[in-house]
Structure 1
Amino acid sequence: MVDKKLDQDVAHFCSVTGASTRDARDFLKEHKRLEVAIDAYYNNPNEFAGKRKAEATSSPSTSKLARLFDQYKDEGDEILINGTIKFCEDLQVDPEDVVLLAVACELKSPGMGRWTRQEWIDGWKHIGADAIPSMQASLHRLREQLATDPEYFKTVYNYTFNFSRSEGQRSLGLETAEAFWNLLLPLGLKGGSLTRKNKDEDVKMGDGWQEVHTSWWLEFLRKKGGKGVSKDTWVMFLDFVRSIDSKFSNYDIDAAWPSLIDDFVDFAREKISST
């Protein structure tokens, strides 16, 4: 709905002013309201020209990124485990740091400890970095976005399933799933990207998924056994975490939740009743 409204405003802006679509979007982004943006354009149609020139001058270098890729690549035309470890050392980041899941998503990494040349170059250019210092600064921005932006968290979370799944496997190994839940959930809870939201009820601060519930979930999975976690369960678990209250009292058993989550709710309610 927001995108459709923006497209309509852009079209109207262009028809009135004769400006380019790019100018229309820049002025609308800066000035929010259509009428105000149009007035601003007439007062100073070159408002963003200097900014664009500076952006063009400082845009990441393809050749610098290619040279950096060559510095870390292991064999063929990929950076593999050894190159990834060296890269992390230069970035001064732990290879198991959650922020690297965001980097993997941005660079479309095909698997853990694997980076392909074109995706490396395109990804870092999109992020806006072409050297170790600027990449280090980018990690801080990506970590903050992952912690606070619900949509970005969801994008990285869903990407993590395919990224971390063994080749040829449809499900994610239980130990692997547990490791990534332990990385992602604490950050989302701390930063707010996992805050419960429900338009039909007033949600009090802290009335939602808690760290103790993560430990219950993992305990439940270990007791239940099974070889892995399906993609359906992985994806819907995030929706579950964002919708459930801290007492599991608003769970709808008739909704289309995976049976594994149905069983977990019974497990969690028993935990609550016994305390």
Structure 2
Amino acid sequence: MSKRVDKQLEEKINQFCMVTGASQRDARKYIEKYKGTEPALNAFYNDMSTRSTAAPSSSKLGQLFDQYKDADGDEISADGTLKFCEDLAVDPEDVVLLAVAYELKSPRMGEWTRKGWVDGWKAVGADSIPTMKTALLRLRDKLGSDPGYFQKVYNYTFEFSRPPGQRSLGMDMAKPFWGLLLPHGLQGGALSHTPSTRDGDGDDRMGGVEEGWQDAYMEWWFDFLDEKKLKGVSKDVWQMFLEFVRTIDAKFEKYDAEAAWPSTIDDFVEYARNRLASGQ
């Protein structure tokens, strides 16, 4: 076996161990048996699910919560969240943490209550760092591939990240969340294109393959928002934008201006059509 192959195997084993918490020996066994990291991970999680019959422990979750909670309170805040992410080997800005926030009913970004923590992780089926790592992989896949689940997490993101007492979400928060969520949903299929059954004039259109939202349009949307100098996003715009991304055709020809779209989206369609016409 060449040094290059040895190095590739070692990298796969290290990645497997980091994600699952398994030993080097077990990681090598799964990698060599299933000839790749992804099938090996799937097999490991299937085996783990088969072996694990005990329900998650409230006591274990409470003890784990105590490791991360504030010294002078009974909630986990920013410092504890950073330590938790470090132990999970996950970036604090990873999109999967938005799914975790939804599951644990996080009241605000980077904050967790004891009740939400215990009830949420029990519902997910995890009560330790290794089982939570496994849960994150399931949640990441579900977030990317399940349209209904994606929408729930997407809508919850607006609620838990909005400043207390504010009706809108600041643009400095909205744009990064869009930048995390939408590419994940588009890549995984949760935001697969759903063609409108009517064209822009309200007439029924013929069926057929239709291209939808393009990757470049995310930057167009951000450029448009910057030009408009909007400071915040309303709940209506946030929620309707998701439906817009799912249904709009690639050339913005089928957009129904008479439908109940927010004016911000109406204006963006005009902006996008102009960019398409000018070849920008």
1:1-275 matches, within 5 Å, as: 57-74=53-70, 75-198=72-195, 200=197, 202=207, 204=209, 207-275=211-279
Q: TM-score, normalised by structure 1?
A: 0.78
Give the gaps of 5 or more residues in structure 1: 1-53
Aligned residues: 221
Q: Distance in 2 between matches of 1:66 and 1:203?
A: 54
Deviations 1:50-99 (A, max 9, x none): xxxx87x5110000000000010013110000000000000000000000
Q: Distance in 2 between matches of 1:132 and 1:141?
A: 14
Distance 1:77 1:226, change over 3 A: same
Q: Distance in 1 between matches of 2:54 and 2:212?
A: 43
- Give the superposition deviation at 1:114: 0.5
Deviations 1:5-45 (A, max 9, x none): xxxxxxxxxxxxxxxxxxxxxxxxxxxxxxxxxxxxxxxxx
Runs of 4+ in 1 over 2 A off after TM superposition: 198-205
- Give the superposition deviation at 1:202: 3.8
Determine if contact 1:189/1:210 at 8 Å carries over to the other structure. Answer: no
Q: Distance in 1 between matches of 2:91 and 2:249?
A: 34
- Give the superposition deviation at 1:248: 0.5
Determine if contact 1:196/1:203 at 8 Å carries over to the other structure. Answer: no
Q: Distance in 2 between matches of 1:97 and 1:152?
A: 17
- The code of the aligned residue for 2:117 comes to W
Determine if contact 1:197/1:203 at 8 Å carries over to the other structure. Answer: no
Give the gaps of 5 or more residues in structure 2: 1-50, 198-205
Deviations 1:140-182 (A, max 9, x none): 1100001111101000000000111111111000111000000
Distance 1:147 1:137, change over 3 A: same
Deviations 1:195-216 (A, max 9, x none): 11137364637x1111111110
Q: Distance in 2 between matches of 1:185 and 1:111?
A: 21
